[in-house]
Structure 1
Amino acid sequence: MRDVTQTLAEMRRPCLLMRAVRFGLTEYRRSHDLRRLTPGETSPEQVLPRLLAAEAALEDTRLRGDAAYSISAHIEVLVALIAEARLQAPARPA
């Protein structure tokens, strides 16, 4: 699987959506949010592929203009995806 940070860097999403995600990152609570989004999985190695798949499905729904699209669900998944990717990313030297 490709590096998640590379995948995130190549994502192109609307600015307003990403602005909402940045605000949501401050409120992210791993124990609460992951239980709802990926029940039973806690390690970033297990969670990230599921979150990537969920985000891809939401993005596809958004691009098709489907009435079933939920922007709140998209924000929630993106927040979790970015937060979990940060947990998995190795610490960078200062």
Structure 2
Amino acid sequence: MQDVLSALNGLRRTPLLIRAARIGVCDYNRAVHLPRHLGPAALPRAAEALVRLMEIEAAQERDRTARAAGYRAARHVDVLIAMMGEARHLRAPQTAPA
């Protein structure tokens, strides 16, 4: 878990993308957002979802820096929102069942 969070903390992206994602993360709902990026299968655990999202985001970043014709900033921001949401979910203290 710490390796995933360390890798996430090491990411450096343009401030505008990060600012947009921070605004959007307050409305993050993993049941709605994750299937858009990971498909309709059962929701994975937060660490697994975060690893997969980071792979998707890395491809988005490559497209952005290469100025690829298919790059969409809105999709990039949406992936960053999901990454931030999953990181919050991962960092949240786990409550034991009562």
Which TM-score bucket, shorter chain as reference? 0.7 to 0.9
Task: Give distance in 1, aligned partners of 2:47 and 2:7.
Answer: 15
What residue in structure 2 maps to residue 79 of structure 1?
81
- Number of residue equivalences: 91
Tell me the equivalent position of 1:51.
Answer: 53
Measure how far apart 1:81 and its partner are. Answer: 0.8
Query: Runs in 1 of length 4+ with deviation above 2 angstroms?
Result: none
Alignment match, 2:96: none
Gaps of 5+ in 1: none
> What is the aligned-residue identity percentage?
36
Inter-partner Cα distance in structure 2 for 1:57 and 1:10: 16
Change (3 A) 1:17 1:48: same
Residues 74 and 37 of structure 1: is their aligned pair in 2 closer, same or farther, counting only changes over 3 Å? same
Question: Which stretch of structure 1 is more off in the superposition, 71-80 or 4-13?
Answer: 4-13
Alignment CA distance shift 1:45-1:10 (3 Å): closer
Do residues 65 (structure 1) and 67 (structure 2) align?
yes
What are structure 2's unaligned runs of at least 5 residues? 94-98
What residue identity is the alignment partner of 2:12? R
Which residue matches 1:15?
15
- Normalised TM-score (structure 1): 0.86
